[in-house]
Structure 1
Amino acid sequence: MAARKLPVVIVGGLHADARRAAVDRLLAEVPGSVVLHHDLATAAAGTVVRTVRDAGGVRSAGEAPLVNDCACCALREDLVPELERLADAGTVPLAVVELWDSVEPKAMAEVVTAGGLTVTGVITAVDPALVLPYLANGDDLAEGGLAAAATDQRTVADTFARQLEYAPVLAVADSPEADDEDRELLAQLHPTARQVPIGHGGPAGPPSGPAATAPADPSGSAGATPSALVRAAFAGFDVEAAAAAQHPACALLPAEADAHGVSTLVWHRRRPFHPERLYQALEDLTCAAARSRGRFWLADKPDTLLHWDAAGGALCVEGAGPWLASLPDAAWEMVPPVRRAAAALDWHPEHGDRCQHLVFTSPGLDRDGLARLLESCLLTDAEYAAGRDAWKRLPSGFDTLLEV
């Protein structure tokens, strides 16, 4: 399916004031652009409210019925046809999809692309002063009226973390409450993101200066040089590469860092974890940092790549498929090239791509204590020397957790 030429930028984030400021600034700086927004707050009444607006106000509004009692499903069914209508009209230089609070950009970027449209940017709007409070918030989305479906069991913390880490661009509000620690935490959580300032997190007023005359064409040929936010909206986005970057086997995790009271510990080992000792330490490890993630392996499950994902004092551990070292050579052709490349860069002569690669980021991180706790969960020299047949007989606390 040939992609329609309408550029689509997705702007999301739980920080609603910052998100709206970013959206309003795009409307003001790209003449003729429109914003599509689906309000899922009305889902309990059985509908999702769709609004299409431009810099002058609301152009149209309507309702989309729930699909299978799922507000996000209704959004998916309604969004692409609306974008197709705008694309066919041929008069809109940029369509801005403003996601509702808890909707995650990954799913919507994939829906838009699958619908034959071109996603040219994915932006998450952030208020630096709210990063730590949201990462520390282990409440269910439903408790705050933010659930996208009756079955939505996500928390504020894990939803915010995924919104933040998926987007290659962060629209950062100039929050007077934010300090150096807040800004450093944001930088360490997503060090590869391009940060674009958007002013204060309140509603954006009309731009002044060069941005006021920024052309819809980001090349700048028709007027003054576009703002950084406009350039980010048109920069281009690779949905497949973004998905690969989130896979635990090849995710580009943060590097070691320590500044302004915030630290990132990268813990990398080859020896497997003792399943029972690691299970007993899970609570302490989960609470040791505001955010931790990565991949690991257990001695009694040497073929399974396990994904570690913790935020808000809650940990999700799940199987993410096999380690490549456990696959027959013939199966490697079915593995995406990016996965094979990541494994080759970190290959061990005995264990292949099996490893412990966990990253912990937090203000006030007890790096030494955390490292000692992690080391204590590995097999001892004697346990390691006993070999794989003995490892598989070790008691495991993970069978129930992993449902295997």
Structure 2
Amino acid sequence: MPELSVVIVGGLHVDARKAAVEQLLADVPGSVVLHHDLATAAAGTVVRTVRDADGIRDAGETPLVNDCACCALREDLVPDLERLADAGDTPLAVVELWDSVEPKAMAEVVTSGGLTVTGVITAVDPALLLPYLGNGDDLAEGGLAAAATDQRTVADTFARQLEYAPVLAVLDSPEADDEDRELLAQLHPTARQVPIGHGDLAGAQRTKGMSGAHSPLAHAALAGFDVEAAAAAQHPACALLPTEADAHGVSTLVWHRRRPFHPERLYEALEDLTCAAARSRGRFWLADRPDTLLHWDAAGGALCVESAGPWLASLPDAAWDMVPPVRRAAAALDWHPQHGDCCQHLVFTSPGLDREGLAQLLESCLLTDAEYAAGRDAWKQLPPAFDTLLEV
């Protein structure tokens, strides 16, 4: 029996996502699309459809699980995929995620069910990139929440969808300009971009005699995907963050220092720092919590700060065996003889970025020479300004 290949296609840009799905259906004969529509979740059900190039093969409703639409999706999706695998006549199952569902969770669910994810694709309309990254509204306000308890925003959801996928299906949008395309490139510089749609970009790709499973999008869908590596790449300790860039009015500032922040001064600057860029992320080091690696994640004018566990430098040698190899490797590349992996590594990406002003503001939040020289015991006595944010 041939093994079923599963590709996950997601994204809040609905037109781009549907264009990517339709192109896969056309490019891979015999492929099947599975979609769970969560728009009816408020009424207590999720609508499931299974279709191929000829139309709908199966449709029905599945009840919510624990009042959670995403939980219902998890319970229903794997059995559907298993039935396709058992039938043995489907070369590619396309899992089209509903608007706000994030691909990371679904890729892990499919893999844990014993199935093979061969690709994860986020579909993007470059013209909508900045509006979505700047949208701090709760998903619930736009009817996009996946559960009654869903407190995510449009911006942070879209950022995670974008940055998790190794492949971006980019809609050939006439409204997009060089700034939009440059912003996309700087936000996810390692992603493979595949044009979709009916304009010149897509046409240039499709007129080179490439068809079926050899088309760019189909090739990306079948290329292979490592769920564990993808999860590691999202961890703040070893995330592959964007690099310095400046083109078409878009800049990325990479700010790296070996001195901790003063908690009060950083806290006072949070609003300005959060609003300085369309997207910022990374890891940072607070003087009053010198052993804790902290995660910085900002989009849409809102900042999420979380503890990501201890810095490796604060762990006893015996505990290192329990640390994933990718984490140890990342720390080794950035190891300091005095502070180990403790550092500031923050990345800000935006059109019109005030690089100089931002760098000066960040520098002003670090410990002064005198504060730094006082040592760790003195650092720990500084006012704990981040207790509320970190829910201590």
With normalisation by structure 2, the TM-score equals 0.97
Q: Give 1:396 deviation, angstroms.
A: 2.0
The match for 2:281 among 266, 276, 293 is 293
Given the alignment of the two structures, is residue 269 of structure 1 paired with residue 257 of structure 2, yes or no? yes
Moved over 4 A (4+): 207-213
1:242 corresponding residue in structure 2:
230
> What letter corresponds to residue 313 of structure 1 in structure 2?
G
CA deviations 1:47-87 (Å, max 9, x no partner) are 00000011111111011110000000000000000000000
- Residue 324 of structure 2, aligned match among 329, 336, 342: 336
CA distance in 2, matches of 1:77, 1:4: 24
Aligned residues: 389
AA in 1 matched with 2:193? Q
C-alpha deviation, 1:400, in angstroms: 1.1
- 1:258/1:264 contact within 8 Å kept: yes
How far apart, CA to CA, are the structure 2 residues paired with 1:156 and 1:388? 39
Q: Is the 8 A contact 2:108 2:227 kept in 1?
A: yes
1:200, CA displacement in angstroms?
4.6
5+ residue gaps, structure 2, are none
Conserved in 1, the CA contact under 8 Å of 2:278 and 2:349?
Answer: yes
The verdict on how the C-alpha distance between 1:144 and 1:349 changes in structure 2, with shifts beyond 3 A counting, is same
Counterpart position of 2:313: 325
> Paired residue for 1:134?
132
Q: Say whether the 8 Å CA contact 2:172–2:198 is kept in structure 1.
A: yes
* Paired position in structure 1 for 2:355: 367
User: Hey, what does 2:342 align to over in structure 1?
Assistant: 354
> Which amino acid in 1 is paired with 2:24?
L
Q: In terms of mean alpha carbon deviation, does 4-13 or 227-236 score higher?
A: 4-13
Residues 97-246 of structure 1: pairs in structure 2 closer than 5 A: 97-200=95-198, 213-214=211-212, 218=213, 226-246=214-234
Residue among 73, 76, 79 paired with 1:78: 76
Name the amino acid aligned to 1:326.
Answer: S
> Identity of aligned pairs, percent?
88
Question: How far is 1:5 from its partner?
Answer: 1.4
Q: 1:183 to 1:21 in 2, by over 3 A?
A: same
**In the alignment, is the contact (CA less than 8 A) between 1:37 and 1:52 conserved in 2?**
yes
Q: CA deviation at 1:255?
A: 0.3
Q: Which runs of 5+ in 1 are unaligned?
A: 219-225
Q: Describe the shift of the 1:208–1:168 C-alpha distance in structure 2 as closer, same or farther (beyond 3 A).
A: closer
Decide which of 242, 246, 258 is 1:258's aligned counterpart.
246
- Is the contact made by 1:308 and 1:317 (CA closer than 8 Å) also made in structure 2? yes
Following superposition, the deviation at residue 120 of structure 1 comes to 0.2
* 1:343-369 deviations in Å (ceiling 9; x for gaps): 000001111000000000000000000
SS of the residue 2:233 aligns to = helix
Residue 400 (str. 1) matches residue 374 (str. 2): no
Contact 2:179 2:351 in 1 (8 A): yes
Deviations 1:81-138 (A, max 9, x none): 0000000000101000000000000000000000000000000000000000000000
1:311-340 Cα offsets, whole Å, 9 max, x none, are 000000000010000000000000000000
